[in-house]
Structure 1
Amino acid sequence: MAVAVATFLIVDSGSAPTGPRELTADQAGRLAVTRFHNYQVGGRALTIDVPGTAGGLTVTGSIDYRRKVGYGVVHGTGRDASGNGLIQWTATTVLVHPMANAPAKAPARPPGSGWYSRPLQKYGSSLDSSLAIALKLGSDRPDNAELLPQNGAAWVGRDRLDGHQVDIMTGPSAARATPGTAGTTGPADAVRYWIGSDGTMYRVRVGVASASRPVVIDFDTHKYVPVRPAPGVTPAR
């Protein structure tokens, strides 16, 4: 399972888990296809909550999982508005468009100017780690359901999330990952997935080295808007 960008992972205990227990065949199958499901539907609307010692950041937007590009608006929480504005990112590049009065939702068509480009940081930035993780939650093929339990994936408990009955599962650990299944760094329970009965991913919670609390990524928090490239962005094909 994806999200190999984190270097030290922390899990909180928000949902009163009753496991961990070995995955059933059905659970392993749903965990195996959950990233593929994101790719199949093309894109998902999501909200990324990024913790920080000086206040957090919230990214509200969409990801095109086929073209590997995300777009949204950033708002600071518990901090000043200096980091607010529009954001678009790929696996290698982050573009920001500062806005003193950032809207609640990003405009469907990105502005034609006013963007600043920089490389996506692989280490040291909670925001960039969160953006990279979110991109990796889509895959053009399912994971191997038989290998997931062998590599440390497990069932943790059940929850109800926005009206959906979900199972909470952990991904495999990097130390035990087998080629063909993307693992995580840190303990096997470091990344948690809230997955519906059809394999739909509704939430992911994962810690990153630069933050003391986990990043939380919630899907379907608003209507999906197809991602249009900002100037200078060439999405994958």
Structure 2
Amino acid sequence: MRVRQRGLRRGVGLRRWLRPWWVVAVVGFAGVAVVAFLVVGGGSGPAGPRALTSDEANRLAITRFRNYQAGGRAVTITVPSTAGGLVIRGSIDYRAKLGYGVVHGTGRDTSSDGLIEWTADTVLVHPMANAPAEAPASPPGPDWFSRPLHTTGSALDASLAIALGLGSDRPDNAALLPQNGATWRGQDQWDGHQVDVMTGPDAGAKPGTGGTVRYWIGSDGTMYRVQVEVASQPRPVVIDFDTGEYVPVQPVPGVGPRP
């Protein structure tokens, strides 16, 4: 897929909009790594770790497939940073592998605010001085900037890639999950749902990563929250799945990927 810049402002205006670190994805962090992070809500029931039961392994195995079956999910992605984090609220189409949302800075000024759309290899950004609370249902046409998604060195890009990878067109192998280190860590309440907290593989289900990501999973395998630590960041990336209605993601006019 080739993505073009559209409505690109030049001169002083362009230089001003290219300042925010999330636009240029400044590479200053150590390589991104996912490592175990132990957090279970207070008073949430018996604490692990222990081996997964067959039912728990089956639910962990289908949780990414559930996202794919749903077509897409509404998400809130909290990206940590020592200089103030970012919060992305939007949706991910797990069949088209396309994410879209609005970005707001936390503990920082509004220079990082705006709209964002991303695929597995490309990030499109639309800076806005007064970003809305929710992303418009259809992305506006002009003034988008395109850049590659960096697989290392950027907490933002790592978070986008992790979130995009939480859908799969087939279940994982439930028999292999315990062998690769997946465990049950405890129980919790999430948005009115009783959930089990389990460690499991990263979004690629690669061997040896069975204990690197923490999942909050309902009784039917629905994914409610995912937590992953990113190297050199003080707090983990947190991806919360909204139980509200999913709004289908639309490509950016003229520059977004086609269905």
TM-score (norm 1): 0.89
- Match for 1:182 among 203, 206, 227? 206
Residue type of the alignment partner of 2:191: D
- Assess if the C-alpha contact under 8 Å between 1:71 and 1:89 holds in 2: yes
Alpha-carbon distance in 2 for matches of 1:210, 1:69? 27
Pairwise CA distance, 1:66: 0.2
> What is the SS of the residue equivalent to 1:59?
strand
- Assess if the C-alpha contact under 8 Å between 1:65 and 1:139 holds in 2: yes
Alpha-carbon distance in 2 for matches of 1:167, 1:51? 24
Unaligned residue ranges in structure 1 (runs of 5+): 175-179
Residue type of the alignment partner of 1:234: P
Pairwise CA distance, 1:222: 4.7
Pairwise CA distance, 1:87: 0.2
Partner of 2:117: 88
- Assess if the C-alpha contact under 8 Å between 1:6 and 1:184 holds in 2: no
Residue 209 (str. 1) matches residue 231 (str. 2)? yes
Pairwise CA distance, 1:6: 4.3
Partner of 1:177: none
Alpha-carbon distance in 1 for matches of 2:208, 2:102? 27
Pairwise CA distance, 1:61: 0.2
Residue type of the alignment partner of 1:215: V
- Assess if the C-alpha contact under 8 Å between 1:12 and 1:213 holds in 2: no
Query: What are the superposed Cα offsets for residues 79-117 of structure 1, whole Å, 9 maximum, x if unpaired?
Result: 011110000000000000000000000000100111000
Residues 130 and 53 of structure 1: is their aligned pair in 2 closer, same or farther, counting only changes over 3 Å? same
Query: Which moves more between the two structures, 219-228 or 190-199?
Result: 219-228
Pairwise CA distance, 1:63: 0.1
Counterparts in 2 of 1:42-57, with a 5 A limit? 42-57=71-86
**Same amino acid, percent of matched pairs:** 68
Partner of 2:27: none
- Assess if the C-alpha contact under 8 Å between 1:204 and 1:218 holds in 2: yes
Aligned residues: 225
Counterparts in 2 of 1:133-172, with a 5 A limit? 133-172=162-201
Residue type of the alignment partner of 1:39: Y
Residue 112 (str. 1) matches residue 138 (str. 2)? no
- Structural RMSD (CA): 2.0
Alpha-carbon distance in 1 for matches of 2:133, 2:89? 8
- Assess if the C-alpha contact under 8 Å between 1:47 and 1:221 holds in 2: no
Partner of 2:213: 191
Partner of 2:242: 220
Partner of 2:37: 11
Query: Which moves more between the two structures, 213-222 or 189-198?
Result: 213-222
Residue type of the alignment partner of 1:227: V
Query: Which moves more between the two structures, 16-25 or 149-158?
Result: 16-25
Residue 233 (str. 1) matches residue 256 (str. 2)? yes
Residue type of the alignment partner of 1:116: F
- Decide which structure has the larger Cα Rg and report it: 2
- Assess if the C-alpha contact under 8 Å between 1:169 and 1:193 holds in 2: yes
- Assess if the C-alpha contact under 8 Å between 1:171 and 1:183 holds in 2: no
Alpha-carbon distance in 2 for matches of 1:77, 1:198? 34
> What is the SS of the residue equivalent to 2:126?
strand
Counterparts in 2 of 1:21-60, with a 5 A limit? 21-60=50-89
Alpha-carbon distance in 2 for matches of 1:145, 1:65? 21
Alpha-carbon distance in 1 for matches of 2:92, 2:191? 20
- Assess if the C-alpha contact under 8 Å between 1:94 and 1:120 holds in 2: yes
TM-score (norm 2): 0.82
Alpha-carbon distance in 2 for matches of 1:221, 1:78? 27
Partner of 1:70: 99
Unaligned residue ranges in structure 2 (runs of 5+): 1-30
